[in-house]
Amino acid sequence: QKEVEQNSGPLSVPEGAIASLNCTYSDRGSQSFFWYRQYSGKSPELIMFIYSNGDKEDGRFTAQLNKASQYVSLLIRDSQPSDSATYLCAVNKFTQGAQKLVFGQGTRLTINP
């Protein structure tokens, strides 16, 4: 089982609609979760992070966390063509006091004008 799983897509959403991106993780002890946006050929850019069960909103973005189901999601409201990118789900993993990010494969999102 992969540590962090995402549907690779592509996910196609019309402009103005809600884009919903999903991620599951295998380590039940994971405590912090991150969404990064990556444009083609560029570096990951932090969009949202969430630590507690429930929803966290920041502008057009909402992160949702359900630790019981080991499920994280990202909603993008009023999708714009500039939101077209690959969205990376990452989980913080601790080993003997050190931390590292474990990434999913990423979901490629296309917003159609």
Partner 1 sequence: EPEVTQTPSHQVTQMGQEVILRCVPISNHLYFYWYRQILGQKVEFLVSFYNNEISEKSEIFDDQFSVERPDGSNFTLKIRSTKLEDSAMYFCASSDRTGDQPQHFGDGTRLSIL
Show Cβ contacts of residue 84 under 8 Å, excluding neighbours closer than 6 positions: 109, 110, 111
Beta bridge partners of 72: 23, 65
Nearer to partner 1, 63 or 79 (CB): 63
Min dist CB 17 to partner 1, Å, is 27
Cα separation, 48 vs 28, whole angstroms: 20
Tell me the longest C-alpha to C-alpha distance in the chain. Answer: 48
What is the pattern of x (binds partner 1, CB under 8 A) and - over residues 62-101? --------------------------x-x-x--xxxxxxx
Q: Which of 44, 64, 79, 87 binds partner 1 (CB under 8 A)?
A: 44
Nearer to partner 1, 50 or 79 (CB): 50
For residue 33, CA distances in Å to 3, 17, 79, 110 come to 13, 25, 22, 23
Binding site for partner 1 (CB under 8 A): 31-32, 34, 36, 42-46, 49, 51, 88, 90, 92, 95-106
